Every structure is written in C-alpha cells, then in structure tokens.
Amino acid sequence: MKVLIQRVKSASVSIDNERYSSIEGGILAFVGIEKEDTIEKVKKLAGKIVNLRIFPDEAGKMNKSLLDIQQEMLIVSQFTLCADCKKGTRPSFDKSAAPDIANELYEKFIQEVALCGIRTAHGKFGAMMDVELINDGPVTFMLEL
C-alpha cells in the first residue's frame, strides 16, 4: 500500500467538470492499493497518517497531527502509485490490486480515517478525476507498508 499525502490549504475533486468533493484544509491523500495489501495494513496506515505530526505548532515546528488540529482529509484512489517504472519506458501495473479488491480496501481506508474522528471527503473509485489543491508548504510525504 502506498499513500502520497500532501498538507493542503484546500483541495477538491471534480468529475465531468462538476465538483464532487472538497476540503478546506488538512491532508490530501492519494491511495494506491497493491496485491499484497490487507485490512490490517489499511488500519495501520490510516492511524499513522491521522497521527503524523506534519502541521506547525505555535513555534512553527511540525509538531501537530491532523487529529490535533481537527482538519479534514480528502482521499483519492490512485492506482498509478503502484506502477513499476524500473524497466523500459512503459510503467508496469502488475503490483496493483484487482479493481474489486482495491475498491474494497480503499473504502475501508476512508472508513478507518473517519473512525479516528476526521471528517473525510473522497474521490470516486475508477473515475477520471480532476484534482485541485493548494499545497501548504509545500509539504508532501510518501508512506508505504
């Protein structure tokens, strides 16, 4: 499982030129589900992300988590994070989970973040989406399990 997170001032997803969901600050999470991923991995990574201290405290140091500041998370499925680009010039998606399994684990990730007390918004699994964001920092991290 790979999740690329960005600290954002705002972020939104549009489908067919219509706003689908948005947040007004917090974390934008791009989620890639691989064949070997499990519900246990989903739970562990969701918990880690909401507790990751990537937001500034009063002194400007990254010392606060999403839970501490009670902002939101926009969660977007992105199977291309699972691509292997080591050989040749065409990405291989052999490591990506099958769509039905990936969708199930993606939905579970959304649920786990919400269970932590974070308001969530999300994209639509398998859809072509336009994602807009204002990256805060910029602050971007890649998490893998």
Q: Cis peptide before 56, with omega less than 30 degrees from 0?
A: no
What is the count of structural domains for the chain? 1
The pLDDT tens digits of the residues spanning 41-80 come to 999 999 999 999 999 999 999 999 999 999 999 999 999 9
Q: How far apart are CA 57 and CA 51, in angstroms?
A: 14
Host domain of residue 135:
2-144
- The answer to whether the predicted template modeling score (pTM) of the entire model surpasses 0.85 is yes
Q: Mean pLDDT per segment of 10 residues, for the chain of length 145 residues?
A: 98 98 98 97 98 97 97 97 95 96 98 97 96 97 96
Residue 48 sits in a domain whose CATH number is 3.50.80.10
State yes or no: is 80 an active-site residue. Answer: yes
Among candidate residues 38, 80, 89, 140, the one labeled active-site is: 80
DSSP string, 24-61: SSEEEEEEE-BTT--HHHHHHHHHHHHH---EE-TTSS
